[in-house]
Amino acid sequence: MKQILDCHIQNEPGVNSHNVVCTHPHFTGKLYTRLRSKDLKRLAKTDGVHGVFAEIELNRRGYIDSRIEGTKYSIEISLHAIDRLSMYHMHKFVNQYDGETGISSWCNQLVKEAFSQYKPEQIQKLCALESFKIQYQGVVFLFKPHEYRENVLVLTTVEP
């Protein structure tokens, strides 16, 4: 497997992040495909080759930011919720997507769209509750605040 430094690649259409080694001082020698999403997001904000390859890798992963727009809250999705979503709504997943986006990313996107129906002050009120449900496109999402982390909501399950 031949690896190449990011600074030796021209930014041309069709370029990808496979086997590309990062030369950024904080991540020198690491493959972009092995960097955490958190680190890639930070790199994507920078100018130059590091930002370009970080963005390419985030796109390749189908990364969807878990923050709820206009609020201080972010979403964590439990494995149980993903399992229930696949049990009850796999037909929607298969019909809407071509197989490039995984069910976890699809779930994250649905949850963000569900929250976009609400104003920030409405979301603030929901988040003060012990638990709450949101219905969107025939899917019922059940949330509760994270036990240990502030401003984090956990999607605990999905109902039919």
User: Could you report the per-residue pLDDT of 20-66, keeping only the tens digit for each?
Assistant: 999 999 999 999 999 988 889 889 888 888 998 898 888 887 777 78
In a domain, 66, yes or no: no
Mean predicted lDDT score pLDDT of the chain: 88
> Which of 40-44, 129-133, 156-160 bottoms out in mean pLDDT, i.e. has the lowest?
40-44
Q: pLDDT value at position 158?
A: 96
Last residue of a domain, one of 36, 61, 86: 61
* DSSP letter for each residue of 58-73: HHHHT----BPTTSS-
136-150 mean pLDDT: 93
23 and 96 belong to one structural domain: no
* pLDDT band at residue 118 using 50, 70 and 90 as cut-offs: very high
CATH number of the CATH domain containing 107: 3.30.2310
How far does CA 80 lie from the centroid of its chain?
17
93 and 141 belong to one structural domain: yes
Sign of the dihedral defined by the CA atoms of residues 115, 151, 124, 79, in that order = positive
> Is the pLDDT confidence value at 68 over 90?
no
Phi and psi, residue 54, nearest 5° = -65, -45
138 and 103 belong to one structural domain: yes
Q: What are the helix and strand counts (H, E) for the chain?
A: 5, 6
Domain encompassing residue 16:
4-61
48 and 84 belong to one structural domain: no
55 and 98 belong to one structural domain: no
Cβ partners under 8 Å of residue 56, min gap 6: 15, 16, 17, 32
32 and 80 belong to one structural domain: no
Q: pLDDT value at position 1?
A: 65
Number of domains in the chain: 2
83 and 151 belong to one structural domain: yes
46 and 78 belong to one structural domain: no
In a domain, 109, yes or no: yes
